[in-house]
Amino acid sequence: MKKYLALNEEVTRAIQANQPVVALESTIISHGMPFPQNMETALKVEEIVRKNGAVPATIAILDGKFKVGLSTDEIRHLGQKGQGVVKASRRDIPYLISQGIDGATTVASTMIAAKMAGIKVFATGGIGGVHRGAETSFDVSADLQELAKTNVAVVCAGIKAILDLGLTLEYLETHGVPVLGYKTKELPAFYTQKSGFEVDYQLNHPTEIADFLRAKWSMNLDGGVVIANPIPKEKELNYDYMMENIELAIQEANKLGIKGKESTPFLLSKVKALTEGKSLASNIELVYNNAQLAAEIAVALSKA
């Protein structure tokens, strides 16, 4: 594994000493927003993780390896290169590493690298899922398969609201992936606290979540856990307003024939334009909120 994995010194020391570490993805840097806002957001997320007692480990594929714990220069590189960096999911990893091509890690590939490094907790914005119309397109995110088999807890603001939330929940249930709600019984829908769907279990404290993770993995019940953390009330957007704009974005994507892994970046970008930037501002706030909770869970998990 060492041939394909490079941890920075701080992350290495923390893992060896059983100190709390939080994995962070890099697709949000390269594909989530323009430079320099993407770099500033990534560094702010790391700062929040530190302030809450954990070590941040932003992950990407660079120089033919998984880099776990990026430097500021490496984050700047991803931010400046933007969508010129390959969006890397599970299927892309062998090609990018063997060819020495840069890759920005998605939820799935970040989970893989985190598991290889020994990191148990990962903070992101929202997970991928079953796309609307998947009954004919079969467009299902690789994130869901990774959650079914990789022992990493994913703190998110729920499933990306551009997706089919009901079918995604059904898929996760079929594959035995628990969906926990942090202080909520309702599944948050990324930009809003409201979705109309319920989570499997509500837990109200990071220590309870840590106990849940410990019990699951101690019994060799392999697979990840979705920890749905609602966007703060004062930062959320109106549910009906967002659903209307998401529907318009989906219609545009269908008209242009945009499919596969290009659909999510397109839809998020289109929704941003339709909401005059409100969706991006909301996205940034929910990532900050998830980073804080992930750090608190990592701290609780490390104390056991």
Q: Is 168 helix (H, G, I), strand (E, B) or coil?
A: helix
Specify whether 160 is catalytic.
Answer: yes
Residues whose CB is less than 8 angstroms from the CB of residue 92 and which lie 6 or more positions away in sequence, other chains included = 86, 103, 109
- Please tell me the predicted confidence (pLDDT) of residue 73: 98
CA dihedral 26, 31, 105, 75 (to 10 degrees): -30
| Residues in a beta bridge with 61 | 66, 103
CATH code for position 267: 3.40.1790.10
Select which of 67, 87, 120, 160 is catalytic: 160
Q: Is 8 helix (H, G, I), strand (E, B) or coil?
A: coil
Question: Contact at 8 Å (CB) between 53 and 292?
Answer: no
CA angle 75, 81, 84 (to 5 degrees): 130
211: pLDDT strictly greater than 80: yes
Q: What letters, b where the CB count within 10 A reaches 16 and e where it falls short, cover 28-44?
A: bbbbbbeeeebbebbbe
Specify whether 261 is catalytic.
Answer: no
Distance CA 92, CA 84 (A): 15
Q: Is 181 helix (H, G, I), strand (E, B) or coil?
A: strand
- What is the total residue count of the chain? 304
Distance CA 56, CA 300 (A): 16
Show the domain range for 82.
2-302
Select which of 25, 46, 146, 236 is catalytic: 25
Between residues 55 and 259, the one the model is more confident about: 55
Instruction: With cut-offs at 50, 70 and 90, classify the pLDDT of residue 105.
Output: very high
Distance CA 144, CA 259 (A): 18
Q: Is 230 helix (H, G, I), strand (E, B) or coil?
A: coil
Q: What is the pTM of this model?
A: 0.95
- Please tell me the predicted confidence (pLDDT) of residue 297: 98
* Tally of structural domains, the chain: 1
